Structure 1
Amino acid sequence: MSELTLWLGALLTGIAVIRLLTVEEPLSRLIALNITGGGTLMILVGLAVRSEAPDPVPQALALTGIVITVAFTGVGLVLLRAVHEEELTDLDDAEETEDTEGAADTGEQESR
């Protein structure tokens, strides 16, 4: 069972790293990074159960890694949302600027 966990963890980590390097969308990158972390934790658990008596230290590290991953995901999602809202604000400002410039140009042409 431990060899299966090791191989699946390695496969999951490899696929997620490839996805992380090839995709450009920030949310997809965050998800790929989470999957990479999950694969790494699977490898750590697989290494912990290789002996007769499972080693509790890697298992404790895996549990700590899960907690850190959840916190990292939350912070990452908040940052992505803030960036998205900033981009929307910039787009709205740019549209308002174009509208006022277009109205000023039309007014100058009509007065001539």
Structure 2
Amino acid sequence: MMSSATVFGMCAAALVGLGLYGLITNPQPLRKILAFNLIGSGVFLLFGMVGRRGAGASVGNDPVPQALVITGIVVAFSATALAIALLLRLFDTAGSTTLGNPAPTSLHSDSPGD
């Protein structure tokens, strides 16, 4: 039977793995932001699990990883809000949220009369 630490560790690894997959494979910036948030959630889950390592031995929880998780959640929320605001600004300016390169322009024409 698996312990709760093993289950939480596997869930954290799955979240980080799905986030990395989404970050690499999706070209849309909004999906990249969401994938980055998945990675952060996996890391927060892992830190929360580390913070409970003393609870099994009735020592008590370690407050440092818990404080890091709470601070990380606040920072991740504000970074996500900033990224969404920048993405909306990009949409207002460019009319699109894709970051693809425009079609290359030729410096010389292919007409035979040049």
Q: Structure 1 length normalisation: TM-score?
A: 0.75
Paired residues, what number? 89
Aligned to 1:83: 90
**In proportion to residue count, which structure has more helix?**
1
Deviations 1:10-52 (A, max 9, x none): 1111111111011000000000001110111001111111223
Q: 1:65 aligns with which of 72, 96, 99?
A: 72
1:74 aligns with 2:81: yes
| 1: CA distance, partners of 2:37 / 2:12 | 13
1:87 Cα offset (Å): 1.0
Q: Compute the displacement of 1:88 (Å).
A: 2.0
The one-letter code matched in structure 1 to 2:82 is: V
> How far off is 1:3 after superposition?
2.2
Q: Secondary structure at the match of 2:54?
A: coil
Structure 2 gap segments, 5+ residues each = 97-114
Within 5 Å, give how 1:24-43 maps onto structure 2: 24-43=27-46
**Separation in 2, partners of 1:32, 1:3:** 23
Structural RMSD (CA): 1.3
Structure 1 runs (4+) greater than 6 angstroms displaced: none
Determine which structure has more spread, i.e. the larger CA radius of gyration: 1
TM-score normalized by structure 2? 0.74
Instruction: Give 5+ residue unaligned stretches, structure 1.
Output: 90-112
Cα separation, 2, equivalents of 1:51 and 1:6: 16
Identical aligned pairs, as a percentage? 29
Tell me if the contact between 1:16 and 1:33 (Cα under 8 Å) persists in the aligned partners: yes
